[in-house]
């Protein structure tokens, strides 16, 4: 094996509040010699996702260990195999790896990797619509919300990697879909490309009361299904408009991820009692065993043009911190991805 110096991004310190560029650093690291049961991969596209913010809070117990200050950050990546001592993986193969990100090259034991076909979709799509965000959206819709034709679905964070797929799955299942996003451009894409019935620009509303009025107007029969990505006034408005027997899939609450103090909970949780509302929090790893079922439903919809996706692309590993920080100010349209290296060599 040729000796390789890789580039990797580390945390200088754990952020308090909104992460800052100075809290990340790009370093050269040695790639160890390849052993049996290992393969050398070079990163092509890497992902940044909101859940990573939780891994930067070591004081909070979570479903996944915090990042270490002494090791490169981890995350989803599409890579090409350069050398392999693992049966079934050959040089030139493309794989999705859930731990390889934030590095230009890395050693994998193949434990959390899956081969992907570069001819079926752009490689970056395996980090978005055909990857973890797509599976998250599909699981929340099909396993928790279980929408029926004619029902009304409300989606917060609707222009993001997860929310945009949720909206389109809702339409595919015959729902009236109301989306919330943070700019006129995002709302236009949701209505004109994703096909939602109403897109609300939440920045037009000063508080939960104003958002509630807009949501109630868009959903005169009430909300049957709510897919939660944002929290805050979105959750309060959804609880005001939720119908009898409503279901809520709690995927994320990005509005509170950088808070330094606990935010007061919504004052209208009592609505869940009389209206018989079911709320279920979930993480995507619960549904990994259904990845094939997800692919069999979503891949044909993608191929047929019934699911569309957008990406915000950054060039160069050194741009990963900017891409990550941008998630919390709404800079991304769809999935944020970073091109680490060329698709082919």
Boundaries of domain holding 258: 132-285
Q: What 8-state DSSP symbol labels residue 143?
A: I
Residue 43's nearest CA partner among 337, 341, 324, 311 is 341
Per-residue b/e over 104-139, b at no fewer than 16 CB within 10 Å? bbbbbebeebeebeeeebbbbbbbbbbbbbbbbbbb
- Is the per-residue pLDDT at 3 higher than 80? no
pLDDT tier at 64, thresholds 50, 70, 90: confident
DSSP string of 216-265, one letter each residue: HHH-TT-EEEEEESS-THHHHHHHHHEEEEEEEEE---GGGTT-SSPPPP
pLDDT on residue 112 = 85
User: What is the residue-averaged pLDDT of the chain?
Assistant: 95
- Is the per-residue pLDDT at 2 higher than 80? no
16-43 pLDDT tens trace: 999 999 999 999 999 999 999 999 999 9
From CA 343, how far away is CA 78, in angstroms rounded? 10
pLDDT on residue 1 = 52
Domain membership flag for residue 299 = no
Across the range 148-173, mean pLDDT stands at: 98
What count of residues does the chain have?
Answer: 345
Across the range 120-128, mean pLDDT stands at: 94
Residue 159's nearest CA partner among 130, 131, 138, 188 is 188
Q: What is the pTM of this model?
A: 0.94
CATH number of the domain bearing residue 168: 3.40.50.720
pLDDT tier at 60, thresholds 50, 70, 90: confident
Across the range 315-328, mean pLDDT stands at: 97
Give the sign of the dihedral formed by CA 298, CA 249, CA 158, CA 65: negative
Same domain (yes/no): 53, 120: yes
Same domain (yes/no): 140, 277: yes
Same domain (yes/no): 24, 122: yes
Number of domains within the chain: 2
Tokens 């490689």, residue? 123
- 287: tokens are 């549904």
Same domain (yes/no): 107, 49: yes
């Amino acid at each position: 094996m040729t000796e390789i110096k890789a580039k990797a991004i580390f945390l200088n310190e754990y952020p308090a509040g909104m992460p800052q560029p100075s809290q990340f650093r790009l370093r050269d690291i040695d790639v160890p010699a390849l052993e049996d049961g290992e393969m050398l991969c070079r990163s092509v596209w890497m992902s940044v996702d909101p859940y990573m913010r939780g891994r930067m809070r070591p004081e909070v117990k979570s479903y996944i260990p915090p990042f270490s200050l002494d090791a490169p950050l981890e995350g989803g990546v599409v890579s090409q195999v350069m050398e392999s001592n693992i049966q079934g993986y050959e040089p030139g193969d493309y794989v999705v790896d859930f731990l390889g990100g934030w590095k230009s090259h890395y050693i994998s034991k193949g434990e959390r990797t899956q081969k992907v076909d570069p001819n079926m979709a752009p490689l970056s799509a395996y980090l978005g619509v055909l990857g973890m965000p797509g599976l998250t959206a599909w699981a929340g819709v099909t396993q928790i919300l279980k929408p029926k034709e004619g029902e009304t679905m409300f989606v917060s964070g609707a222009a993001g990697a997860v929310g945009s797929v949720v909206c389109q799955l809702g339409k595919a299942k015959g729902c009236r879909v109301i989306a919330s996003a943070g700019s006129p451009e995002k709302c236009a894409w949701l209505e004109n490309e994703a096909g939602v019935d109403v897109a609300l620009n939440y920045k037009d509303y000063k508080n939960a009361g104003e958002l509630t009025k807009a949501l109630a107007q868009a959903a005169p029969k009430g909300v049957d299904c709510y897919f939660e990505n944002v929290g805050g006034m979105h959750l309060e408005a959804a609880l005001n408009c939720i119908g009898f027997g409503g279901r809520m899939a709690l995927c994320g609450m990005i509005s509170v991820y950088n808070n330094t103090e606990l935010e007061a909970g919504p004052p209208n949780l009592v609505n869940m009692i009389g209206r018989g509302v079911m709320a279920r929090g979930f993480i995507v790893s619960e549904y990994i065993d259904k990845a094939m079922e997800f692919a069999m439903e979503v891949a044909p919809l993608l191929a047929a043009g019934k699911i569309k996706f957008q990406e915000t692309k950054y060039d160069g590993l050194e741009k990963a911190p900017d891409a990550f920080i941008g998630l919390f100010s709404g800079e991304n349209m769809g999935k944020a991805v970073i091109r680490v290296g060329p698709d082919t060599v």
